[in-house]
């Protein structure tokens, strides 16, 4: 997982400034405790870091994603077990997790999706949504040979019916 190419000198510094401001004001919900991934979790092969700023970003993104996860866990505490599979209830926390992971990657000029963000998404499914199943029957397309027969049969039947109507209309004019 490597930082994205820098698009402008001001963009990276604005992202770091925003991160510093959020960390300093406590908006990142650092006070909540939740189980998550350890800081030592390897998300990609080790990369040689020659740029000090890139190394700083490599260290900051896991911290930011951990805070996103902790806030998601905090939001999910308000959801009862019977509501875990209702999209209307879980869409807000789930969308927040996705937006938070993507937003931090964008602020830090990190590629998204990335392995660490995917781990948090998979962890959310494993922890909260593993027992959700579809309540309504899902309809699938019929097999290809059945579908082909259903398409060709009316096409072949139309010329036969047109011929039959023309033949019967000529026959009825002949009789008074």
Asked which of 21-25, 43-47, 114-118, 140-144 is least confident by mean pLDDT, the reply is 43-47
Output the pTM of the full model. 0.48
What pLDDT is attached to residue 129? 84
Q: Is residue 91 part of a domain?
A: yes
pLDDT at residue 122 is higher than 90: yes
Beta strands in 27-115 (DSSP E): none
Q: Is residue 144 part of a domain?
A: no
Are residues 4 and 110 in contact, defined by beta-carbon separation less than 8 angstroms?
A: yes
Q: Is residue 127 part of a domain?
A: yes
Q: Is residue 68 part of a domain?
A: no
**Mean pLDDT to the nearest integer, 108-112:** 86
Domain ranges, residue 105:
85-133
Q: Count up the domains in the chain and report the number.
A: 1
* Separation between Cα atoms, residue 96 and residue 19, nearest integer Å: 17
Q: Is residue 100 part of a domain?
A: yes
Q: Is residue 17 part of a domain?
A: no
pLDDT at residue 47 is higher than 50: no
Q: Is residue 50 part of a domain?
A: no
Q: Is residue 123 part of a domain?
A: yes
């Amino acid at each position: 997982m490597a930082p994205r190419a820098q698009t402008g000198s001001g963009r990276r510094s604005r992202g770091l400034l925003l991160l510093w401001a959020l960390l300093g004001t406590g908006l990142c919900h650092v006070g909540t405790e939740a189980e998550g991934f350890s800081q030592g979790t390897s998300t990609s092969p080790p990369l040689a870091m020659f740029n000090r700023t890139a190394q700083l970003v490599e260290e900051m993104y896991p911290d930011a994603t951990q805070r996103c996860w902790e806030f998601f866990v905090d939001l999910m505490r308000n959801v009862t077990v019977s509501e875990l599979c209702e999209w209307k209830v879980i869409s807000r926390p789930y969308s927040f997790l996705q937006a938070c992971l993507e937003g931090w990657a964008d602020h830090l000029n990190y590629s998204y999706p990335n392995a660490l963000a995917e781990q948090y998404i998979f962890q959310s499914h494993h922890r909260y949504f593993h027992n959700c199943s579809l309540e309504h029957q899902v309809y699938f397309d019929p097999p290809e040979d059945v579908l082909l027969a259903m398409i060709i049969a009316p096409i072949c039947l139309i010329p036969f019916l047109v011929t039959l109507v023309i033949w019967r209309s000529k026959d009825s004019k002949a009789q008074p």
